[in-house]
């Protein structure tokens, strides 16, 4: 496993394997040869499923945490205490990735203060974004993020919702070359941006994309996820609960026996399992503001096995029939 974590996947290998993956994505399965290239989920020392970032081979757990809304809080201990517990426990439980953005209100400031207090920044895979349109404003926003997050580097910096993508990607590449960021990419959470998003994916080399994807919101399956596999891009998925619609659909039903066989113990795990088990998806990022939710969400990455294509179809049918 240690060798796998540190062994890069070359661009040529990623594309070669990605072409094979793309052919199987419609069925929700990977080709058999993919396992020999290290693209199948692995187990970390902590027992969590991980997947590799194609551009380097670095492994990250298939479940991270998002900070939109939930980390936009004040400075009272009552507000900060549960968030501090989440950030403290995340690496202790084997998790790594935390996604944030300057547009998430006070989230960057809160997260930066908590990591500084806990002294665990080096245990966190820290992802943030830049959204300002004008180049000077974008640079100021990025520098502000460094200050608010109290760090000298980001593990991932993404252009938020395609804003100013053409003039920002060159800046991000310069920052990557200088060692201020480790990976670069772009994000969206709006289906109306998918055509432009695909166009950028086709012409630009990036380490990551982030897109909305849930069991009741599968539009990304048509072009974005197959293209990410073909282009060797890691995929983070936001809104894995469909803005709460998945929970509304399933209500108070019991977990069916066939789902329990996969180790699924909650509807949150059910929804996360669907998103994270897609062959092209690297990591799903549910909003996580309590220790209880963190433990439940990370439990998705500890299940005995991930669902196959037939089970994924069954999951969709259950939600659509609810």
Buried b (16+ CB within 10 A) or exposed e, 240-267: bbbeebbeebbeeeeeeeebeebebeeb
CA 98/CA 285 separation, integer angstroms: 8
Among the residues of the chain, which ranges form H helices? Answer: 2-6, 11-25, 77-92, 107-118, 135-148, 165-177, 194-203, 224-231, 245-250, 257-260, 267-277, 291-299, 309-320
Catalytic annotation on 194?
Answer: no
CA 184/CA 158 separation, integer angstroms: 6
Q: What is the DSSP letter of 191?
A: G
Q: Within 13 Å, how many C-alpha atoms sit on residue 5's CB side?
A: 10
Q: What is the DSSP letter of 48?
A: -
CA 29/CA 308 separation, integer angstroms: 7
Among 104, 183, 213, 262, the active-site one is 104
**Cα–Cα distances in angstroms (integers) from residue 176 to residues 121, 129, 190, 207, in the given order:** 19, 14, 27, 11
Q: Which residues are catalytic?
A: 104
């Amino acid at each position: 496993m240690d060798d796998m974590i540190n062994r890069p996947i070359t661009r040529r290998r990623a594309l070669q394997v990605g072409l094979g993956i793309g052919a199987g994505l419609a069925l929700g399965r990977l080709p058999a040869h993919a396992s020999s290239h290290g693209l199948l989920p692995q187990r970390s020392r902590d027992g969590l499923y991980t997947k590799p970032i194609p551009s380097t081979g670095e492994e990250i757990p298939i479940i991270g945490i998002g900070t939109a809304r939930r980390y936009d809080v004040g400075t009272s201990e009552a507000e900060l205490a549960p968030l501090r517990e989440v950030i403290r426990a995340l690496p202790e439980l084997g998790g790594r990735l935390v996604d944030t953005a300057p547009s998430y209100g006070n989230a960057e400031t809160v997260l930066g203060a908590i990591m500084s207090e806990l002294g665990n920044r080096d245990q966190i895979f820290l992802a943030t974004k830049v959204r300002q349109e004008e180049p000077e404003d974008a640079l100021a926003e990025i520098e502000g993020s460094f200050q608010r997050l109290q760090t000298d580097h980001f593990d991932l910096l993404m252009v938020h919702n395609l804003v100013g993508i053409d003039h920002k990607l060159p800046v991000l590449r310069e920052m990557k070359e200088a060692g201020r960021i480790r990976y670069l990419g772009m994000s969206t959470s709006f289906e109306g941006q998918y055509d432009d998003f695909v166009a950028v994916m086709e012409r630009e080399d990036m380490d990551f994309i982030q897109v909305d994807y849930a069991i009741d919101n599968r539009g990304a399956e048509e072009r974005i996820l197959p293209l990410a596999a073909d282009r060797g891009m890691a995929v983070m998925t936001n809104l894995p609960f469909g803005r709460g619609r998945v929970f509304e659909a399933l209500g108070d039903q019991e977990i069916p026996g066939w789902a329990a066989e996969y180790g699924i113990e909650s509807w949150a795990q059910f929804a996360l399992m669907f998103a994270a088990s897609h062959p092209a998806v690297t990591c799903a990022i549910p909003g996580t503001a309590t220790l209880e939710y963190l433990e439940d969400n990370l439990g998705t990455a500890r299940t005995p096995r991930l669902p196959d294509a037939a089970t994924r179809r069954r999951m969709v049918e259950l939600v659509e029939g609810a």
